[in-house]
Structure 1
């Protein structure tokens, strides 16, 4: 399992619209092969800051299967104009100690 973590900075005056758009976009990402789950969290301390966590079966399910799909173009059109600056996406694997 791969955890995709994205810190999102949404334009403060567009937070309500962003939350409506990502709610709509949730059906896009959840329909993709290899998708397991996702969560969106709003920061308490910093207005406009969100944390998106997406679980994928493999890295390629995200980087190839989703990112190179027609569905991603729809996701991008719904969401990317809300971000300033554009976010960095990072991927993690679980470490059991």
Structure 2
């Protein structure tokens, strides 16, 4: 299992619109091959910061299967205009439970 992590800094004042758009976008990601689970959390200290965690079966399920799919274009259209700066995405694997 792979854990994708992205810190999403949303343009101030656009948090509510982002959360509405994310509700639509989560339907897209959850339908993808290799998707396991996701969660979106809002930062307490910075009102416009979110943490997105997505579990994938393999790295390629995210980097190739999702990112190179037509569905990713829908995801991108719904969400990417909210970010400033654009988030860096990192992937993690479990070392020890």
Q: Could you tell me which residue of structure 2 aligns to residue 84 of structure 1?
A: 84
Deviant stretches of 4+, over 2 Å = none
TM-score, normalising length: structure 1: 0.98
- SS of residue paired to 1:85: coil
Find the aligned partners of 1:77 and 1:96 in 2 and give their Cα distance: 37
Q: Could you tell me which residue of structure 1 aligns to residue 39 of structure 2?
A: 39
Q: Does 1:9 align with 2:39?
A: no
Post-superposition offset of 1:29 = 0.2
Find the aligned partners of 1:96 and 1:47 in 2 and give their Cα distance: 32
- Residues matched between the structures, number: 97
Find the aligned partners of 1:10 and 1:79 in 2 and give their Cα distance: 10
Post-superposition offset of 1:47 = 1.6
Post-superposition offset of 1:95 = 1.1
1:18-33 alignment to 2 at 5 Å?
18-33=18-33
Task: Specify every segment of 5 or more residues in structure 1 that has no aligned partner in the other structure, as ranges.
Answer: none
- Tell me the C-alpha RMSD between the 2 structures: 0.7
Find the aligned partners of 1:46 and 1:17 in 2 and give their Cα distance: 17
